[in-house]
Homo-oligomer: A and B are copies of this chain.
Amino acid sequence: MEQIRRAYRRESEETRREALISATQSLVAEGGPEAATVRAIAARAGVTPGLIRHYFSSKDDLTRAAYIALIDGMTEKGAEALREADDRPEARLAAFIVASLTPPVVDISAVVLWAGYMHKIRADSELRGVHQGGYLRYRNTLQSLIADLPREVSAARLRRDAIASNAMIDGLWLEGSILPDGFADGEIVATGLLAIGTIVGCDLLSHMKLAKPESAAE
Contacts and interface: CB of A to CB of B under 8 A. Distances in A.
Interface of A: 28, 31-34, 108, 111-112, 115-116, 118-123, 131-132, 135-136, 160, 163-164, 166-172, 174-175, 178-179, 182-183, 187, 191-192, 194-195, 198-199
Contact of A168 (B32, B123, B160, B167): B167
A182 B174 CA distance: 21
A179 B134 CA distance: 12
Main secondary structure of the interface of A (DSSP, over half): helix
A199 B179 CA distance: 23
Contacts of A192: 164, 167
A178 B131 contact: yes
B115 A118 contact: yes
Given A135-B175, A135-B179, A118 B32 contact: yes
Contacts of A116: 115, 118-119
Contact of A198 (B111, B123, B182, B198): B198
Given A112-B122, A135-B178, A167-B191, 14 more contacts: A31-B119, A32-B120, A112-B119, A115-B118, A121-B178, A135-B179, A163-B172, A163-B187, A167-B172, A167-B174, A167-B195, A168-B195, A171-B171, A199-B199
B179 A164 contact: no
Contacts of A31: 119, 123
